[in-house]
Amino acid sequence: MEIEEIHRLAEELLEQRKYSLLRQMLNNLNSADIALLFDEMDKKEIPLLYRLLPKEEAADSFSYMSREMQKTLINTLTDRELRAVMDDIFLDDTVDMIEEMPANVVARILRNTDEETRKIINQVLNYPKDSAGSLMTIEYVNIKKEMTVGAAINRIRHTAVNKETVYTCYVTEHRKLIGMVSVKDLLMAEDAMQIEDIMETNVISVDTHEDKEEVAKVFNKYDFLAIPVVDREERLVGIVTFDDAMDVMQEENTEDITKMAAMTPTEDNYFNTSAFSHAKSRIAWLLFLMLSATVSGSIITHYQESFKLYPLLVSFIPMLTGTGGNCGSQSSTLMIRGLALDEIKFKDIFKVMFKEFRIALLVSTVLAVVNGLRIYIQYGDLQMAFVIALALIAIVILSKFIGCSLPLIAEHIHLDPALMAAPLISTIVDICSILIYFKIATIVLHIAV
């Protein structure tokens, strides 16, 4: 059933006060879909609908809801109801919520959380934003190397209700992480065997201060269900689960794409961001690029005698700067993506430049021949055709060089390579293209400036 259909049905049942039927329908829905349904409903129906949810579903659906909806609910639920939710949802979801909610909502959340949890929340909140520490959950299965397989399975059976991921058990000694065992390995082994004999001792872990983007890359590389997070003394403090890593991956991709279009990334999605915030995230780069473009303006002014003589020269400016910009952004995009996926590194810069040079030769030859012919046929002006063909070759080669080297250099000096994308590259390439073009034109056409 599509969400629109579910929504229509829910509205109908609400209107006809068929609450038990509605409850039955909700019971058959997945938590993520219930969250979607809440988004579609009228605000004043939300509290009633929430109270119709089966108890065990309420907390689960709550963690799938948008921040906006969670805020609405926190403000309408009684303390008792809120406490039930807070007891049930996973700790890392609580922490995420606290980090993003306004102060009065946070106060209500904390008032309805037990003291033990509050202490842990405070500890997690102290990790830097976007670090593995802030992303992790402190709920994991912890076993000792002296345990038997049977005892370990028993331990999972008795503690797992509160653990987000039970499928990997971590072996610690004096709180230090010394090994891990998957539930699959446990199930394959004999009950009497010792954990020590079957555990994997070569455990990949991340530091609490590791950037979450790096954490996501580890997941991508190793296909883990969860990664243990250790502090500087190698003590196990939590785990990051694959679903959070997936979210980070998508967020990072969105952030890169946004930056590559000369915008400051916003936290929320398109519709939840106000027109004013959108304008704010776009104006800085636009202003900067607009003012940088005055450089190409001055170059044109410098050559104005040439186009007073040959007005046709002006007609080719958009085509040349456009082609240069496109060539440059093709190269820069591949670099930015390659850097993000760790497929390209700064040390490859000369290898990359040589490759881009060969590509530029191939591409520019085709472009120069096609456009040179077109101009010769259209205007019968061989000299002009020659100027454009020559300019195209020079511009394509230069813009490929600029496009491939700037992102790599940015990465090397710890700037975000995503900033070296189409908009900035185009502006720089514009300036170079116009300079090259007029230089070639004045020489070939014998114009004195």
Q: Interface residues for a copy of itself in 28-87 (CB under 8 A)?
A: 28-30, 32
Q: At what angle do helices 212-222 and 242-260 cross, to 10 degrees?
A: 120
Residue numbers 214-233 binding a copy of itself by CB under 8 A: 219-223, 225
Task: Count other C-beta atoms under 10 Å from residue 362's C-beta.
Answer: 10
Is 386 a residue that touches a copy of itself (CB under 8 A)? no
Is 269 a residue that touches a copy of itself (CB under 8 A)? yes
The residue among 426, 420, 443 whose CA lies nearest residue 313 is: 443
Is 258 a residue that touches a copy of itself (CB under 8 A)? yes
Is 346 a residue that touches a copy of itself (CB under 8 A)? no
How many residues touch a copy of itself (CB under 8 A)? 107
Q: Which residues in 50-65 are b (16+ Cβ under 10 Å) and which e? A: bebbeeebbbbbbbbb
User: Nearest distance from residue 248's CB to a copy of itself, in Å?
Assistant: 11
- Cα(236)–Cα(206) distance, integer angstroms: 10
Window of 47-55, 102-110, 321-329, 439-447 that interacts with a copy of itself by CB under 8 A: 321-329
User: Nearest distance from residue 119's CB to a copy of itself, in Å?
Assistant: 27
Is 8 a residue that touches a copy of itself (CB under 8 A)? no
Window of 5-13, 85-93, 128-136, 340-348 that interacts with a copy of itself by CB under 8 A: 340-348
Is 399 a residue that touches a copy of itself (CB under 8 A)? no
Q: Which residues in 5-37 are b (16+ Cβ under 10 Å) and which e? A: ebbeebeebbeeeeeeebbebbeebebebbbbb
Instruction: With beta carbons less than 8 A apart as the criterion, state whether 382 and 345 touch.
Output: no
HSE-CB for 165 with a 13 A CA cutoff? 22
- Cα(46)–Cα(67) distance, integer angstroms: 14
Among 156, 349, 444, 445, binds a copy of itself (CB under 8 A): 156
Is 317 a residue that touches a copy of itself (CB under 8 A)? yes
User: Nearest distance from residue 305's CB to a copy of itself, in Å?
Assistant: 9
Is 443 a residue that touches a copy of itself (CB under 8 A)? no
Instruction: With beta carbons less than 8 A apart as the criterion, state whether 157 and 187 touch.
Output: no
Among 202, 233, 350, 446, binds a copy of itself (CB under 8 A): 202
User: Nearest distance from residue 114's CB to a copy of itself, in Å?
Assistant: 23
Instruction: With beta carbons less than 8 A apart as the criterion, state whether 441 and 447 touch.
Output: yes
